[in-house]
Amino acid sequence: MIKAENITKSYNNGKIEVLKDISLEIKDGEFVVILGPSGSGKSTLMNILSGLEKADEGKLIVNNENLSEKTDKELTQFRKETTAFIFQQYYLLPHLNVENNVKLGASLIGNKDYKEIITSLGIESKLHSMPFELSGGEQQRVCIARALAKKPKILFLDEPTGALDEKTGREVLNYIMEEKKKYGFTMVMVTHNPSISLMAETIIKMNSGRIVETIKNKKQMSAYEIGW
């Protein structure tokens, strides 16, 4: 479970207030989308919930660990054991082939069955390809495989389809949902696209650094049912 209480975050010695009094709760296995316009603080909130960044004030408990009290070193260890990330940019290592990029994720926890994950993402024929030889959608699928090879308890995604066209974007979202069904990890996805938010169980709407609405989505749509 992720439980945030009265989180605040500012930059430039308090001049830029980015997050104002954020409280939320995310259950184990839940799929939550953080939705809001550009600059509303979505990425900053995700970075704090995942232990990439520290809040200025407030309390943050993730899987029974109090992140607000952890040192940078402890946060690194927490991320290694608990979380995985997928971003809009692919961040694959350019000099490593697909297998070795994914292995790198797997090696963090010594997972030997990473090949199964590669197969389930439909990129087994690309095992020995280099990142530059892949399309954007394929590169993002390698990123998903690398993230999941870590067997994360929580998967954080920041605009994972932001660089993809509609067809490829839907495919990638569909792959992500299939993996979620299989492994049951908690999923927190940032997007500015209201259509994508209809896939989630819970939609947290942000504006100007605040949560303005939390919606329980009764009918979760598939990647092929939503608008784009």
Ligand X SMILES: Nc1ncnc2c1ncn2[C@@H]1O[C@H](COP(=O)(O)OP(=O)(O)OP(=O)(O)O)[C@@H](O)[C@H]1O
With CB under 5 to 8 Å by kind, the binding choice for 11 among Mg ion, ligand X, none is ligand X
Chain center to CA of 147: 9
Task: Extract the runs of DSSP E, i.e. beta strands, from 49-201.
Answer: 57-62, 65-66, 83-87, 154-158, 186-191
Q: Which residues contact 22 (CB under 8 A, 6 or more apart)?
A: 4, 6, 7, 8, 45, 58, 209, 210, 211
Closest distance between ligand X and the C-beta of residue 164, in Å?
A: 16
For residue 44, state whether it binds Mg ion (rule: CB under 5 A).
Answer: no
Closest distance between Mg ion and the C-beta of residue 90, in Å?
A: 16
Q: Which positions from 165 through 194 interact with ligand X, judged by CB under 6 A? A: 192
Q: Which listed range, 40-48, 117-125, 130-138, 149-157, lies at the site for ligand X (CB under 6 A)?
A: 40-48
For residue 161, state whether it binds ligand X (rule: CB under 6 A).
Answer: no
Site map 73..112 versus Mg ion, x via CB under 5 A = ----------------------------------------
Q: Which residues contact 119 (CB under 8 A, 6 or more apart)?
A: none
Q: Which listed range, 37-45, 47-55, 59-67, 175-183, lies at the site for Mg ion (CB under 5 A)?
A: 37-45
Rounded distance between C-alpha atoms, residue 145 and residue 53, angstroms: 24
From the list 4, 33, 35, 43, which residue makes contact with Mg ion (rule: CB under 5 A)?
43
Closest distance between ligand X and the C-beta of residue 162, in Å?
A: 9
Token code pair at residue 146? 């690398």
Beta strand 31-35 with 186-191 is parallel
- Choose between 40 and 140: whose C-beta lies nearer to ligand X: 40
Rounded distance between C-alpha atoms, residue 58 and residue 45, angstroms: 12
For residue 18, state whether it binds ligand X (rule: CB under 6 A).
Answer: yes
